[in-house]
Chain A
Amino acid sequence: MNNGLIIGQYVPGESIVHRLDPRTKITVIFFFVLIVFLANSVISYSMLVLFALLSTLTTRIPIRFILKGLTPVWFLIVFTFILHLIVTDKGTVLVDIVGFNVYSGALIQGFAISIRFFLLILVTSLLTLTTTPIEITDAIEDMLHPLKKVRFPVHELALMMSISLRFIPTLMQETEKISKAQASRGVDFRTGPLKERMKAIVPLLVPLFVSAFKRAEELAMAMEARGYQGGEGRSKLRELRLGKRDALIYILFIAVVIILLTTRHY
């Protein structure tokens, strides 16, 4: 949609990051998110930033697009930074703004936390930017496979996930369509007192629910008509396969982790 937030959006491409096995991406990003919290020295932080930036560059998605998409997040980052400046009182006093002391420790702390925050958001949005929702659910289904032993309905869960992901754009389109139709009939979603605007949601929600239920029913019927009966013995159209590039990424990432662990302060 036009509001600029890119989290959860997929940008098609042919880069090496796009073609990585989704399981690799999820694993690496999962551990990346963990080790971000271990970094505490200049070298360890620069390692992480370097890794994140290099991955971003290799996706060939325009940097400007990514940065613009993170606009709402910038606000949060700046907010945390300022909060740290105010709250922390370690180190020496740097400046004195109207009787308010800004400590050197606060500056460092604020900076570090902002970088962590930025890295987390950047790397996790890289996952969705370069991986189709279907790939993500496939990967999750595969990775949760061991849970089947304890009768956890992995396949059903993955199916539910992929169906809901599949219908997000459809519902968005539907929402836009209906809100336009109702706007043409004089509904004002944007201005007026809050109570009026809340009321304006009703003409949008009712048709949306009606069509969502109708769609669900049709989908269930179509699936049954084509003989769907759950995960048992079902083969896959898209087989996940680990390749050389996945091995390469794992090696690179493990190197990053080792350097990070050796250069951080204890």
Chain B
Amino acid sequence: MDITFNHVSYIYQANTPFAHRAIDDLSFHIPSGSFAAVIGHTGSGKSTLIQHLNGLVRPSKGEVTIGNYRLTHNNKPAALKALRSRVGVVFQYPEHQLFEETVRKDIAFGPKNFGVSNDDIDKRVSDMATDVGLSEELLERSPFDLSGGQMRRAAIAGVLAVNPDVLVLDEPTAGLDPRGQQEMMDMFYRLHKQQGLTTVLVTHSMEDAVRYADQVMILNNGTKFMEGKPEDVLTQKQALHSVQLDVPEMVQFLHAFKTTFGKNIPFRRQSAAELASEIRERMKEGDQHE
């Protein structure tokens, strides 16, 4: 489903001394089936943006369109529940939403609320458990007996089991060990490709944005600071520094490489291995010229 923000503003506690503008005149478009990364410093309005995507909040001004659903200040779609069944949101620390007696019941909770048939639910639960890497015997345990990483997986499986078209991820790997982070992100990317999901990833990991995103948006103080392809946006060191962000490690390396060896290698989102062979080629060329 396409996601469009049209001059959206959101004000918390409007008309009180506590009024606070979290999003200010924000417009952007995420085409169906693409992987978009939203990057921003703490308090840049990322979390507020997410809550617009499944109608948890409605814009104070402007208009949000998700597929056929339209949200404005006064217009609440009658089929809010239908919208929520098609937009799955993995909130920050999703393990806090676990509550059922068993992991199986908890994963089944979402689909059950959206009226999926019992046979279907059983199938989805075991499929999703496999996808997120939870073994079958864990399904009968209490979610509160799991380790932190397993709880996270169970909660994510619960969101995925609804079979959404749009997947919204709010720092899904925060607090996991490095290997768990990698596995988790690879899993999301696999699902994104397999099921043709539209994915919105909120993160402050530049590495994740570079690796997975088709499109990157940098938020600062509730407004759009930059937008574009990762290789264009995430290489602008000075601009990123001005909003307390850093370029990805790879870009840093290329900068250092250029100043040390005087050789300019353009950033094309190559992996470390690709870059290594590229450098080897360049070095060979250099030798032949001499």
Closest-by-CB residue of B relative to A62 is B17
Closest 8 CB pairs of A and B: A186-B113, A206-B99, A185-B110, A181-B97, A184-B89, A186-B114, A203-B99, A181-B91
Which residues 101-139 of B have a CB within 8 angstroms of A? 109-110, 112-114
- CB of A64, distance to nearest CB on chain B (Å): 8
- The minimal Cβ–Cβ distance linking B269 to chain A, given in whole angstroms, is 31
In the complex, A203 Cα to B100 Cα: how many Å? Answer: 8
A186 vs B87: C-alpha distance when bound (angstroms): 11
Q: Which residue of B lies closest to A204 (CB)?
A: B99
B159 touches A185 (CB 8 A): yes
Q: Give the interface residue-count category, chain B.
A: 20 to 34
* B98 in contact with A65 (CB, 8 Å): no
Interface contact A184-B88, CB-CB below 8 Å: yes
Provide the main secondary structure of the chain A interface.
helix
The reply to whether A207 and B84 form a contact with Cβ atoms under 8 Å apart is no
A interface residue numbers (CB < 8 A to B):
2, 11, 61-62, 65, 68, 174, 177-178, 180-188, 202-203, 206-207, 210-211
Report yes or no: A183 in contact with B96, Cβ–Cβ below 8 A.
no
B54/A184 in contact, CB under 8 A:
yes
User: Would you call B40 an interface residue if the criterion is a C-beta within 8 Å of the partner chain's C-beta atoms?
Assistant: no
Between-chain CB contacts (< 8 Å), 19 pairs: A11-B17, A62-B17, A65-B16, A65-B17, A68-B15, A177-B96, A178-B96, A180-B51, A180-B56, A183-B84, A184-B84, A184-B88, A185-B159, A185-B162, A186-B110, A202-B99, A203-B99, A207-B96, A210-B99
Chain A residue at minimum C-beta to C-beta distance from B99 = A206
Residue from A2, A11, A68, A185 within 8 A of B97 (CB atoms): A185
Min Cβ gap A20→B in Å is 20
Contact A207 B17 (CB under 8 A): no
User: Are A186's CB and B98's CB within 8 A?
Assistant: no
Given A65-B16, A178-B96, A181-B97, does the pair A187, B113 have CB atoms closer than 8 Å? Answer: yes
Q: Which of A62, A174, A207 contacts B99 (CB 8 A)?
A: A207
For residue B85, which residues in chain A have a CB less than 8 angstroms away from its CB? 186
* A210/B51 in contact, CB under 8 A: no
Residues of B within 8 A of A2 (CB): 13
